[in-house]
Amino acid sequence: MQGGGPSTAWLDWRLLALPPRHASRYTTTFNCLLVLVMPVSPWILAARPRTLVAAIAPLLPAIALVWRDQVALNALLVLWLVVATTSIQIATNLFNDAIDYMRGADQQRIGPTRVSQAGLLDHRSVLKAGYAMLGAAVLAGIPLVMQGGWPIFLIGVLALFFAYAYTGGPLPLAYLGLGEVFVLLFFGLIAVTGSYWVLALHFSTYSLLAGAQLGCLSVVLLLVNNIRDLESDRAANKRTIATRLGRRGALYELAAFLAIPYLLAPFWLPYSEPAAWLPCLTLPLACGVQLLTMRAKDTQRFGEALSRAARLLLLFAVLLTVAIISF
């Protein structure tokens, strides 16, 4: 922690609003919960649980494609895939939190609390936790490399490198306007095709199609964040695509990445007709993400847009998975 004892400013303790006659009965329980939760909660905040859907969602259609192609599923390999992908996602978030603080990029942010900037955790501890999560990803990746060979080794090395290089190093991707490329590749195309390769030991064109669709929806999560942080990123000389295009241009970019998954849907028809139309049931939710982001001016509205974007990604992945398996 920075500056002495733990800060509770980021917590919304409704207990303080209780009438006096009720408050005393909860005091002991509240104090006990505070002692238990405080050491853990900043780390949960730093891990950004809402973003983990971007790590999990690509695995679902990959598993479904393996199942439909009548390849025996190895449950242990699936588990290692989950551990590896979520560890890399959390590591990326931790590095982003600490390094943005070191670069001064979070000084004027209007989004969710960043633990380093808020003083909830020392940025050096956050960095060390990021390296620890990369270590967990390496351990989980060993059986994956043993199964999938050199393609998985190469993917793993690149994923580990860019988890840090997204925000850190002399040429950070996020500061050069390459965040969308990173997310599209590693949380879409590579995530689905690589997972399919590990489980089936061959390439599938439809894993590439699913990766393109989910990768675009993962980019939507990034874009909502970048539109929200447009002014603070400009002040920190963080040259995202949003800062280059401006708010209007970034909203057009958002609309494009929301539309692409649905424009790609007909390419599923030779393989599975339901895979072409069932995920399209999420189109109203996609429109809602666009409209909410267009109207958002404060943290709460952008938070709602981000939550909807995460639900959109997960629901699209689930419906695509159901369509592949069931029909």
List Cβ neighbours of 165 (8 Å cut-off, separation of 6 or more).
171, 172, 173
CA distance linking residue 319 with residue 291, whole number of Å? 23
pLDDT single digits (tens) 157-209: 999 999 999 988 888 998 889 999 999 999 999 999 999 999 999 999 999 99
Per-residue tokens: 223:
């874009």
- CA dihedral in degrees (286, 288, 290, 293; nearest 10)? -140
Q: Are 177 and 240 in contact (CB under 8 A)?
A: yes
| Backbone φ, ψ for residue 236 (5° rounding) | -95, 10
List Cβ neighbours of 92 (8 Å cut-off, separation of 6 or more).
130, 163, 166, 167
Per-domain residue ranges of the chain: 41-326
Predicted local distance difference test score (pLDDT) of residue 110: 66
Tell me the angle at which helices 205-228 and 241-263 cross, rounded to the nearest 10 degrees: 140
Q: List the one residue out of 191, 179, 165, 248 whose CA is nearest residue 220.
A: 179
CA distance linking residue 84 with residue 194, whole number of Å? 12
Q: Are 177 and 128 in contact (CB under 8 A)?
A: no
| Backbone φ, ψ for residue 278 (5° rounding) | -60, -45
Cα–Cα–Cα angle for 42, 132, 149, rounded to 5 degrees: 135
Predicted local distance difference test score (pLDDT) of residue 51: 85
Each of the 327 residues of the chain gets a pLDDT tens digit; together they read 334 444 443 343 333 344 444 444 444 454 444 334 445 588 888 888 888 999 999 999 999 999 999 888 899 999 999 999 999 999 999 999 999 888 877 666 666 778 888 888 899 999 999 999 999 999 999 999 999 999 999 999 999 999 999 988 888 998 889 999 999 999 999 999 999 999 999 999 999 999 999 999 999 999 999 999 888 888 878 889 999 999 999 999 999 999 999 999 999 999 999 999 999 999 999 999 999 999 988 878 898 999 999 999 999 999 999 999 987
Predicted local distance difference test score (pLDDT) of residue 39: 55
Give residue 138's identity as a one-letter amino acid code.
Answer: V
Q: Give Cα separations from 54 to 73, 151, 155, 228, 309 (angstroms).
A: 22, 22, 17, 19, 10
Per-residue tokens: 172:
């950070």
pTM, whole model, 2 decimals?
Answer: 0.83
- Could you say which DSSP state residue 17 is in? G
Gyration radius of the chain over CA positions: 21
CA distance linking residue 175 with residue 99, whole number of Å? 11
Per-residue tokens: 284:
């109203």
Q: Are 181 and 223 in contact (CB under 8 A)?
A: no
Indicate the length of the chain as a whole number.
Answer: 327
Predicted local distance difference test score (pLDDT) of residue 20: 43
CA distance linking residue 182 with residue 317, whole number of Å? 20
- Could you say which DSSP state residue 166 is in? T
- Could you say which DSSP state residue 72 is in? P
Predicted local distance difference test score (pLDDT) of residue 326: 84
Largest CA distance in the chain: 67
CA distance linking residue 92 with residue 72, whole number of Å? 32
| Residue 5, SS3 per DSSP | coil
Predicted local distance difference test score (pLDDT) of residue 88: 95
